[in-house]
Amino acid sequence: MASESQLQAKRPVSASLAGPYGHPFHPILVTVPIGAWVAGLVFDIASHAVHRPEFLTEGSQWLIAVGLIGALAAAMVGFLDLFAIPTGTPAFRTALVHMTLNLLVTAAYAVNFAWRHGTHTDGSVGLGKIALSAVSLAVLGVSGFLGGKLAYRYGVRVADEDTQAEGYTPGRGARDTGSAPRT
């Protein structure tokens, strides 16, 4: 049986803002910065392999911008998910490290964007900018590991086992009301 603390971490603080029970928005939104920043690094590296790299250099800069916008959206709903986790717990401490790493990565990409934005180049992306992107993505990977730990080990914003069991009961059908379990 789940404790009250565990059930609290599964319920949204605001279903309209953070996503309904069992369907959090944060994991959906994090795909935007991850995808944009990975693609940006690919563009950075590819800018060294083509004859006219300007389109890749500029494309990478705007992928970083898209990632920053996506990171801000993901952070807003992530903060709401953080507020659902009881303080003083291992899950809360893990969430604080996850949040801190994400904020550091977002700040690093903001610096990276500003560094690129002020300069016009007809060439490939500089190695310093590529290194900053690569290190930022590595830190993001560590943060993603911690996000996975929050969801898959601690069950933050994941439906409880009784609700999950509905998907494994033969003949029950695909019934999803989106409502929280009765406690």
pLDDT at 68: 98
In the numeric block, which tokens belong to residue 157? 């914003």
Q: How many CB atoms lie within 10 A of CB 7?
A: 16
Where are the domains positioned within the chain? 4-161
Below-70 pLDDT ranges, the chain: 1-2, 5-22, 120, 172-183
Measuring CA to CA, which residue among 110, 106, 127, 124 is closest to residue 34? 106
Instruction: Provide the CA 118 distance to its chain's centre, in angstroms.
Output: 28
pLDDT at 174: 54
CATH 1.10.287 fits 4-161, yes or no: no
Per-residue pLDDT tens for 20-29?
A: 666 788 899 9
Q: How many CB atoms lie within 10 A of CB 39?
A: 16
In the numeric block, which tokens belong to residue 84? 């659902």
pTM: 0.83
